[in-house]
Every structure is written in structure tokens, then in C-alpha cells.
Amino acid sequence: MSTENELFSAVDALLEEAAREDLPAPAERRRLREAAGLSQTQIAKALETRREAVGNWEAGRTEPRAAKRAAYARLLEGLAARFPAPATDEPALPAPAVPEAFTGTPPEPVAAPAVPPTRTKPAAASSAAGAPPSASHRPGAKKTASAGTPAGGAGPRFENGPLAVIDAEDGQVLAYGVGGLVLDVPAKSLPSLVEWTLAEAKLGAPKLSGPGKDADPLLVLTEAALERYGLPPTLTEKERLAGRLPEAHKVIKQLTRAGWKLTKRGLGPWARIYRPATGSERACVQLCIPSWNALDTRHWGTAGQLPPAQLARVLGVYASRVMTPRGSTAVTGLELMTALHPPTRASAPDGNGKRTSEHNPGSLGKDAIDPMNWPPCEVPDGHPVLKDLPRFHVRGPAEKLFEEAYDWARPMTDAECMRRNLVGIDVNMAFAAGANGLTVGLGEATHITNPVFDAKLPGSWLADLSHVDLSRVKAGKEWAELEGSLLPSPFTPKGETPTGPAWYATPTVAYAVELGYEVRPMEAWVRPTIAQARTLGVPLTRQDIEKNRYGNGRYLDAWYQRLRDAYLATMADLGVHADTDPADFLTAMDGYQARDPELGIVVSAIKATVKGGLGKLRERPRGEGWRPGEPWRALSRPTWRPDIRAAVISRTRINLHRKIVRHAAFTGQYPIAVLSDCVVYAANGPSPLDFLPYREGKPLPGGFKLGINPGLVKHEGTQTVLWGEEVREKFNAPDLNLARYIKDGTVTDADNGE
């Protein structure tokens, strides 16, 4: 006969079983929590579980078990009594927990049962790189793809998408894929996880260009997954500075015993685990470890703290629209250039049907440039070609190409001080727009003396532009009389008028000619095509031609188009469209990130990919015992191209100055400050429409235009003129660059060296 305690235990089990049926639908769980103003972290702490577990309960991906389920049911019952659902004629439909992974558009909600979702085996998974899986695999989602049908043109090999977030919960390891897909992971160790990924998971992405390579699968490991596979949740200070775990770590030994290798960067925040390729088959998996600072908060915001499914969504959208991340946004931006223009391709078959590797036309070939044969004016300090300079020699403008973004400001005039507001406008994707249609060199530079300037020749020119007078310039086809002292010089980043000869990229010299002034360069390093080289009288050798050391083209066009499309598609998902009139555009931009914070993260990452990728073209030494005059690792890359970076920045700065001149010529208004792609004007109203000269809805031709497309402008921020004067007075800096603070008006002492 059962004891009293045993009977009570049996009753408790029945109560728990009853609670199993009483949990509200997943969407209602989330509504109740938000109505009470509680966070997932607070609930997780009360129930002694992880925040990710609470997120999974609210998404319907998993269900609480045993005592936690009963306690959770009691909490929800109490909240339901305090915050009843609003009355409606129709039954409440739960919103999907994970919106469409690749469109950013929430799918049409349908009723979903409050039971755990079926975790699919990889072979039966229906989610792929471009579309969500069937509703049985993602609760609350509308069925948009038939089971087993790959989407996005990825094919069955990559039908589960480009990546997965690996998480461990209640003794199980789960892989959260794009579109809400959840896979069971049988792997017990990191080597077996890599094996499972390549053999069963069906992760990866197809190549972006014909001669390219398919993207390797990306696994994102949460802290729980790290613990499950014997890795530390965070790096020690020594490991963080080294950027990797020590070679003696037990997990690295496991990989070595299983025949896996690591790249030179080792097992760090971004790691690549591979076996040497056999034929055309690659065996490589990439790891991303957010808790080791793989997702820099400056570019990825709070992505590293998101629950697994939401993180999979953020990275999945980015991967589908840009590419599978290969490291930081800067690394990915550079890798995107190579993925769109691989340096080699397979040749046509010879008489025996054999193909060999050959140069891919239009790319930055592997052997096109000797790392030790760079023009001295184009390389940064410490480069091997400068090793013979005196140790403390400082190169001036006549020795060094210095094309950088604007950082210029001036005191306000009396008339401007009488206005009410300072309004900042910001150029969308300014550096991407600067890259669009830009002709850059694809091979080595050729030195010529006393050349005739040719705007079609990419390169660097030594010229004296001090005679260009900004008080009288051509604005379009007409000469315009301007207040030159109120304008920044287009030829220097600080806006100062040059005082003598200096090195400039082709777009800068071309703009001096456009303004109506004659330019006579003294020498140049240019990158001609073979035909242009013959015209210049450059002696050509067979070896130079075979190694593709001559050539130029619009190398960055495909890169720009890919990033532009990614940016516009994501902004459209956030409710900001390209065909919106100015007033509606400003309204749509107001708080756009709050509409879907996860897609807001994607927008920030896309922007960082542009700037970081261009910055990587002139990567400097990164420790490794480097000394000035010695080569560093980045120099051996075909994509180490400081000349291309300089040309893009030059063109971006010139594009902005051209708009400033057109605006001044038409309205008589001049900027107060310019910082990179942000321009500040004094106006009587708080909106850009209070000073931009729109007529019947049409902007000034060649001037600033409101819109979301790259090269158009958006509202950056508004502060009062009084605020600007007080800030400058506080720091005793009449020309303090107010564009730096116009967004939110926050100025700290640290910003000004105090």
C-alpha cells in the first residue's frame, strides 16, 4: 500500500500533467510577459533557467519540463488574470516568433498549436537558403515552400541554408537555421560536429560568380554550446590579445587527432577548420563565436546577445543578401570583392582535354603586382619601398598620397547665428556610391614624367592645385560667383587650400579641371590598359603582358551593386522605399530601426561592410613582431590596393563637394561643418526640407536629394544654433566640427581631448 508521500507525489505528477495542457499559445505567453513589463531575463532568473530557454518557450520551439513547466504555468495564469486578452470577434492569432529569414517581411500569421515543434532530421528539412520551411517545422509560419523543395536556387546540397546557430539546452544540442529551422545535432565533440556539418547538415551557399567557390558552412556557437564541446565561454586576457586559444588546448588536440587543421589564425573568434582539398571537393567549416567578440558591437550591435533563432535570422539575412560572413564586416567586405571577381578561372581544354588555372579577366590577378614594386607615394609609412628614408623623416604632400574623408568646420557668420537650427544631412552609403562606376587599376603602376592629364587613367598625379579659386568656379556649364572662404577646399581632407604640389588620385585632379582650371601634372604613377600604355609610349614586354601587369576597369561595380541591393532590400523591409516623396521619406526614416531591431542590425552590418572592406584595401601591420621597412602579411594579397582605396575616398569627397557647390550657387547657403558624409547647414526650421531647394517636389539638379538610394541624403539630426555656439564656447573652439555631434547633441570632454 502506498505511503502518504507517494500519494502526494502521484498527485503532484497529475497536477504537472494538467499544467501541460493549460499553457497558453506561444504568442500569448509573450504578450503576457510584455504586458507585465517583464523581460525574458527576469523570468529566466525566477525559474532558474536560461534566457534563451524562455525565448524558445515564447516562440513555441521548445516547451518547459516538469517543475519548471508547472511554475511557468502558474506565472502565466497569474499574469492572465491581471492582463486579460482584449476582446475581439475573431480568435487571437499568434504572431510568428521568427519572421521570414531572407525577406525581413513577417509572414501571414496562422493559428499554431501550443506543442513543441517537430525537430527535423537534416535529410527531411525543408528550409533552404532563400525560403522558410513548412509550417510543421516552424510554428506559426505560413507554409510557403513544399517539403523537401530547396529555395533560393541553392539546390539540395545547401537546402538548409548558409549557417546554423548551435545551442545546448537540457542535455540536447540544437542547430537553429534560417527560416526557423531547428535540427537535432548528434555530435558529442567538436570534431564530430564538423563531420556532421559536412556530411548531414546540408549547410552552405552557392558561389557568387562562375569561377568562384561555394561558401563554406558557418556554425555559430553559443556559450552553452561552447561548454558542451569543451571550449571556454570567454577568452582570457592573454588569449584575447593573441586572438586564439593556445595550441595545447585539449579541443585543438582533438581536432588534430581527427585529421583536421586550423588556418594561421588558429581557434579564435572566427576559425576555419579544414582538411586539404582532394580534387574539387572542399572540406571546410567556419566557426563564429560571439562570446569571444566575433560580432563587434560597433557593427553588429546586440546581435551577440540574441537568442539562437533570432541570431540565425540576423546572420541569415546578411548571408543571403551580402555573403556568408568570413570574419569581421571588414574581412567580409574584402572577401566579397574576391568572391565576385576570383583571381583565376579554368582555362579552355587543351588537345588532351586538360584544363589549367589562368587569369580571370577583370580581376586582381595573383601575380599582377610585385609587393615590393609599389609607387612610393601610394604606400603607408613603414612599407619596404621606403626603407631607405631617414628614420624620423615625415613625408609631406609632395611625397605622399593623402586622400581621406572630410573633417572640416568653420565659425558661423552673423547671419547664420540669427537662424534657429543646425540641420545635418547624411549621404546614404556614400563610399559605396563613390565606388560605383569608378575605373581603377588592375595591374602595376607605370611612372611617367610631365604627363598630359587624362581623366581616363587611374592612378596618382603630382600637381599644383593651389591656383584653383573657389570664389569663381563652374557649377555645371555656367560660371558661378561664390563666397570661397565659406567653402572647404575639395583637395584636402581638412578643407584647407593646398600651398604647393601634392599627390592626388585621378578623381581629385579631374574635379579641378571640371571647376574650370588648367592642371599640368609634373609626374604620375598610372595604370593603363595595354592600348593606353602603347599610346603613352611605355615599352611592353611579353612577360608584362602574360602576367597581366597592365589593365584597368570598373572592378568594384559588382561589389557596389550587391551591397546596394542588400541595403535597399533591408530598408524596404523596414518600411523605407526608394520611390517615396521627400516628406514621406523623412517620416518613414523616423525610428525605422525600432520597427524590426533585428533587421536594423543587418542594416548597420551592411554599412560597416562597405567602409571596412574599403579600409582593408590598405591594411596596416597587425603586430606579429613587425618592424618598419619589413613586409607584412597583407602585402601578399592581390586585394592589398591602397590606390583603389584612395580613388574611392577621393571620388566620394569630390561627389560631396560638387553637391555643396551646386547648393551654394543656387541658394547662397554654405555648410557650417562637414564630417565624412555628413553636412551641417544653418536653417530656420528643423527639417532638411527647410533649406533644401525642392520645387514642385523636384530637387535641385546635381544638388542634394532626399532618398534612400546610395548617394542620396537623409536627415542626420537637428540641434539649435544656441547649442552649437555653447558647445564651441565651452571648448574654446570656434571651428569645432559640429557634424560629429549633430545626431544626438551629446558632446563629452573625451571627444575634445580633455
Dump the DSSP string for 293-319: T-S-HHHHTTGGGS-HHHHHHHHHHHH
pLDDT at position 130 over 90: no
Is the domain spanning 4-82 CATH 1.10.260? The answer is yes
Tell me the C-alpha distance between 169 and 164, whole Å.
15
Cβ–Cβ under 8 Å, residues 153 and 196: no
The residue type found at 9 is: S
- Average pLDDT of the chain is 86
Tell me the C-alpha distance between 754 and 749, whole Å.
5
Cα dihedral 475, 479, 480, 482 sign: positive
Contact partners, residue 232, CB within 8 Å, separation at least 6: 226, 245
Least confident of 68-72, 297-301, 388-392, 436-440: 68-72
State the pLDDT confidence band at 51, using cuts at 50, 70 and 90: confident
Cβ–Cβ under 8 Å, residues 438 and 554: yes
| Entry pTM | 0.81
pLDDT > 90 in the chain, percent: 66
What local confidence, expressed as pLDDT, does residue 144 receive? 29
pLDDT at position 146 over 60: no
What local confidence, expressed as pLDDT, does residue 15 receive? 53
More confident residue, 546 or 599: 599
pLDDT at position 498 over 50: yes
**DSSP structural state of residue 521:** -
What confidence tens digit (pLDDT) does each residue in 523-577 have? 999 999 999 998 988 888 887 777 778 899 999 999 999 999 999 999 999 999 9
pLDDT > 70 in the chain, percent: 86
pLDDT at position 102 over 60: no
The residue type found at 648 is: V
What local confidence, expressed as pLDDT, does residue 253 receive? 96
Cβ–Cβ under 8 Å, residues 275 and 260: yes
Residues of the chain with CATH 1.10.260: 4-82
What local confidence, expressed as pLDDT, does residue 71 receive? 84
